[in-house]
Amino acid sequence: MDPDETQYLLPDGGTVWVLSTSEASKNLPNLLDLFRSGATEPLIFGDAGQPQGVVIPFEVWRALVETATDEEGFDSSYSVLRHRLKNQEGPSVPLEEVAAEIGWDLDEEIDDSEFRKPK
């Protein structure tokens, strides 16, 4: 019998707790109450301690979908940068200011492994 909750090691070294599917089903009514109160902590579940599903608040899901499909946001950001470079008068604008204006997080970790040359 699997334990009700297992710690799972993520590739980046972090950890999450994975509930067994049967335990997750028992917690759904309580989770709904938590979401209604404004909590956003996800419920991660699976079998044999392996994460296979996650339950998140609906508003979090909507924000993720919107962010993932924001092609216009990319085009808008690109247009701002092109316009600034084309019409630049005076000193250049620091990268941090431009990033803040278009909503980029310069401290976000980015997986660039596909662009690196093999050794």
pLDDT tens, residue by residue, 7-51: 999 888 889 999 999 999 999 999 999 999 989 999 999 998 899
**Are residues 45 and 81 both part of a single domain?**
no
Domain hosting 35: range is: 5-57
CB atoms within 10 A of CB 57: 18
CB atoms within 10 A of CB 20: 19
Residue 64 lies in a domain: no
**Are residues 14 and 52 both part of a single domain?**
yes
Number of structural domains the chain divides into: 2
98 Cβ contact partners less than 8 Å away, ≥ 6 residues apart: 80, 81, 84
**Are residues 79 and 41 both part of a single domain?**
no
**Are residues 15 and 48 both part of a single domain?**
yes
**Are residues 23 and 53 both part of a single domain?**
yes
**What is d(CA 19, CA 54) in angstroms, rounded to the nearest whole number?**
10
Answering whether pTM is above 0.75, one says no
